[in-house]
């Protein structure tokens, strides 16, 4: 037997890092701006604790394209680096200065929002550049350094004449990546990844109208001045306390998130927790109008105000992926597969927390203004019903606010409904019979008939309703649901004193005969007598269990598992 040590050298892992570190080349910009942001946040922290004796001022980060020289520049006014620090932080692949900083300033720095983590982000620059330069000067007044590397493990380091504090990264964009020299492309990336980063980011300039002087002449021509084009909002709503924000602020932020979305959200939920995990965010309930084919991937995930993804699958419970908004958490492990995510304890806690907050919010909306809640019901019921089926915790809490509307737009809670039908809608086993319609138009005559008999008819018309009914029946032994066109309803409502048909006996027999030639009497019941409403001379019904069986077959037969609604997404 022999043992040995696997020899890993920079020569063989460097190309791998460049090639496989990130599948998406465009994230290099996010990484470099994150580093510039970290450098600025670190300076802010060090000045605030008195360790850096310099003026913090109003630092910005600038992104600049130099088309002629085919370079892209990212310039910050942060802590900068001495030549030794470049050696230490840049030349040592996978050594994170961000992590070291957090370790060193443990307690005081935990809220600085430092982004870096793995000590690899910088090297993403080589995915789009064949040469990278760093020109940097530390706040500590050491000589400025100039580092140049062409993507091989060799680099050169010389002194630089840079006088201002901070770092400039220069990317010599490679031939196959010239799209990153286009203003539109960079604009798009900045909008996508950096829109809410905490340090102002300048990209070019723009014209701004000067205020009109007080006694301006009639023909006054507005004058313009050139100002920095700041592409981000460094203090987005979710970083603030709910008490600082008005309803209008929340709506404004919704428009900032979805500039192309003109419909206002129904309500919002502000998330804010720092133990046992860190998470902030704002979720919005959009108008869903029962349509399940709406686009998912509307919730954006951030880490310390850096956009990460709009695919929150595995992080947010599936039924809530229909919502919109942002979630910001440094505690979600992102460099792992989605299936691993679902097994991660922290992620499970986060998902449960979000579910609980949504349930709490719904409950408070219900309690505070029931009328308003009833009006919104149709737009939110899909999410709620889906949640009841897929999340046990949500189901438990939902009893406090779930509504069961009737075809006449009366809204019952389950408790109220039971109370309302307990004297008039029971079957031979003493069960409460909930009569419902799934389509107001096609079941119109049945609805009228049942109403004429004095029954409450619910309108349960969402696509997952048959699954929901099964669940409700399972959990409420005293309840049984029958659709308004089921023959069970007829059994229930046939009483001694029911009116007789408008037709004579002979007419009835004839009619039955005719109908039976077109409708299979084995699966349907044709009833010509004992109808109470004046509208229909006869009624065709079907046993409830028969219809359900067919429905189950057509929706895959399953019950509550998420996998049983393939037709929905
Ligand atoms: P991470 O950000 O995860 O620590 P990076 O590879 O992105 O790893 O960066 C490595 C280190 O290089 C950083 O931690 C930081 O110490 C240093 N660094 C990178 N960019 C800058 C910058 N613009 N200003 C100052 N230091 C920087
Ligand atoms: Mg980094």
pLDDT of residue 128: 93
Distances (CA, A) of 164 to 59, 80, 142, 549, 551: 12, 10, 12, 76, 72
Q: How far is CA 179 from the centre of its chain?
A: 30
Count CA atoms within 13 Å of residue 456 on its CB side.
Answer: 25
* Ligand 1 neighbourhood includes 101 CB (under 6 angstroms): no
**Residues 37-50 pLDDT 10s:** 999 999 999 999 99
pLDDT of residue 520: 67
Pocket test for ligand 1, best of 91, 117, 122, 166 (most atoms within 8 A of CB): 122
Distances (CA, A) of 140 to 166, 321, 465: 11, 48, 67
Asked whether the beta carbons of 552 and 466 are under 8 A apart, the reply is: yes
Cα of 93 vs centre of ligand 1, distance in Å, is: 11
Q: Which atom of ligand 1 lies at the shortest distance from residue 99's CA?
A: 4
Joined together, the tokens standing for residue 355 give 């579910």
Instruction: For residue 276, say if its preceding peptide bond is cis, omega within 30 degrees of 0.
Output: yes
Asked whether the beta carbons of 333 and 314 are under 8 A apart, the reply is: no
**Residues 271-301 pLDDT 10s:** 999 888 899 999 999 886 545 555 555 899 9
Asked whether the beta carbons of 273 and 279 are under 8 A apart, the reply is: yes
pLDDT of residue 345: 76
Name every residue whose Cβ is closer than 8 Å to that of residue 55 and which is 6 or more positions away in sequence: 47
Instruction: Give the N- to C-terminal CA distance of the chain in Å, as an integer.
Output: 56
Separation CA 190–CA 196 (nearest Å): 10
Pocket test for ligand 1, best of 98, 144, 197 (most atoms within 8 A of CB): 98
pLDDT of residue 167: 98
* Residues lower than pLDDT 70 in the chain: 6-23, 93-94, 118-119, 288-297, 334-342, 488-502, 520-523, 527-537, 552-569
pLDDT of residue 567: 31
Which ligand ends up closest to the CA of 99? Answer: 1
pLDDT of residue 506: 80
pLDDT of residue 33: 97
Burial class (CB in 10 A: 0-12, 13-18, 19+), 495: exposed
Name every residue whose Cβ is closer than 8 Å to that of residue 523 and which is 6 or more positions away in sequence: 542, 546
Count of residues in the chain: 569
* Ligand 1 neighbourhood includes 122 CB (under 6 angstroms): yes
**Residues 177-201 pLDDT 10s:** 999 999 999 999 999 999 999 999 9
Cα of 132 vs centre of ligand 1, distance in Å, is: 14
Separation CA 50–CA 113 (nearest Å): 19
Cα of 121 vs centre of ligand 1, distance in Å, is: 8
Separation CA 377–CA 356 (nearest Å): 19
Asked whether the beta carbons of 38 and 80 are under 8 A apart, the reply is: no
């Amino acid at each position: 037997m022999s043992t040995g040590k696997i020899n890993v050298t920079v020569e063989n892992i460097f190309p791998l890092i460049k090639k496989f570190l990130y599948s998406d080349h465009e994230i290099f910009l996010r990484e470099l701006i994150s580093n510039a942001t970290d450098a600025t946040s670190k300076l802010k922290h060090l000045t605030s604790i008195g360790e850096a004796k310099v003026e913090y001022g109003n630092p910005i980060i600038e992104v600049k394209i130099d088309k002629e020289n085919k370079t892209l520049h990212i310039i910050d006014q942060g802590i900068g680096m001495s030549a030794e620090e470049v050696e230490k932080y840049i030349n040592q692949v996978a050594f994170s200065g961000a992590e070291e900083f957090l370790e060193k300033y443990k307690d005081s720095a935990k809220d600085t929002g430092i982004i870096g983590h793995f000590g690899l982000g910088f090297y993403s620059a080589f995915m789009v550049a064949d040469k990278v330069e760093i020109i940097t000067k530390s706040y500590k007044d050491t000589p400025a350094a100039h580092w140049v590397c062409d993507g091989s493990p060799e680099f050169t380091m010389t002194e630089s004449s840079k006088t201002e504090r901070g770092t400039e990264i220069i990317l010599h964009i490679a031939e196959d990546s010239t799209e990153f020299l286009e203003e539109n492309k960079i604009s798009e990336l900045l909008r996508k990844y950096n829109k809410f980063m905490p340090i102002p980011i300048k990209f070019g300039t723009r014209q701004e109208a000067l205020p009109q002087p007080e006694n301006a002449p009639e023909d006054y021509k507005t004058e313009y001045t050139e100002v920095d084009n700041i592409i981000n909002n460094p203090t987005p709503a979710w970083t603030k306390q709910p008490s600082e924000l008005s309803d209008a602020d929340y709506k404004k932020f919704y428009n900032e998130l979805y500039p192309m979305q003109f419909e206002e959200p129904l309500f919002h939920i502000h998330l804010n927790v720092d133990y046992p995990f860190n998470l902030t965010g704002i979720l919005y309930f959009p108008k869903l109008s029962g349509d399940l084919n709406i686009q998912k991937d509307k919730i954006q995930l951030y880490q310390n105000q850096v956009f990460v993804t709009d695919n929150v699958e595995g992080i947010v419970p599936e039924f809530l992926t229909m919502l919109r908004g942002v979630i910001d958490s440094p505690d979600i492990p992102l460099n792992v597969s989605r299936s691993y995510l679902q097994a991660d304890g922290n992620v499970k806690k986060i998902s449960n927390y979000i579910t609980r907050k949504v349930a709490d919010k719904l409950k408070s909306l219900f309690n505070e203004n029931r009328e308003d809640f009833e009006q919104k019901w149709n737009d939110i019921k899909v999410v709620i019903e889906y949640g009841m089926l897929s999340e046990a915790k949500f189901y438990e809490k939902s009893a406090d606010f779930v509504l069961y509307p009737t075809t006449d737009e009366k809204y019952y809670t389950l408790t109220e409904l039971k109370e309302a039908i307990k004297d008039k809608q029971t079957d031979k086993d003493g069960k409460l019979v909930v009569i419902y319609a799934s389509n107001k138009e096609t079941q119109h005559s049945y609805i009228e008939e049942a109403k004429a008999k004095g029954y409450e008819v619910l309108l349960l018309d969402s696509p997952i309703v048959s699954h929901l009914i099964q669940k409700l029946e399972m959990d409420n032994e005293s309840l049984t649901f029958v659709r308004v066109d089921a023959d069970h309803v007829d059994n229930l409502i046939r009483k001694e004193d029911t009116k007789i048909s408008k037709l004579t006996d002979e007419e009835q027999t004839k009619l039955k005969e005719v109908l039976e030639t077109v409708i299979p009497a084995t699966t349907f019941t044709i009833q010509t007598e004992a109808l109470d409403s004046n509208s229909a001379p006869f009624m065709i019904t079907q046993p409830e269990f028969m219809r359900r069986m067919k429905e189950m077959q057509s929706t895959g037969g399953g019950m509550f598992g998420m996998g049983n609604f393939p037709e929905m997404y």
